[in-house]
Amino acid sequence: MKNMKKWITNGKNTVHQVLSGRSNAFLISKGNTHVLVDTGRTSSWKKLNQKLDSLTDGNGLKAIVLTHTHFDHVENAASLKAKYHAKIIVQRSEAEHLMKGNTPLPQGTNLLTKYLVNSLEMLKWGGKNLVSRYNYRSVDPDIEVDETFCLNEFGIDACIIHTAGHSPGSLSVVVDGEVALAGDTVFGVFRGSVFPPFADDVDVLIESWDTLLKTGSKIFLPGHGVEKSRKELQNGYNKYKNLKKD
Domains of the chain by start residue, with CATH: 6-105+137-243 (3.60.15.10)
Q: What is the pLDDT of residues 99-121, one digit of tens each?
A: 999 888 888 788 888 878 777 76
In terms of Cα–Cα distance, which of 94, 100, 128, 131 is closest to 116? Answer: 131
In terms of Cα–Cα distance, which of 79, 56, 60, 70 is closest to 1? Answer: 56
**What pTM, to 2 d.p., does this model score?**
0.92
Q: What is the pLDDT of residues 138-193, one digit of tens each?
A: 999 999 999 999 999 999 999 999 999 999 999 999 999 999 999 999 999 999 89
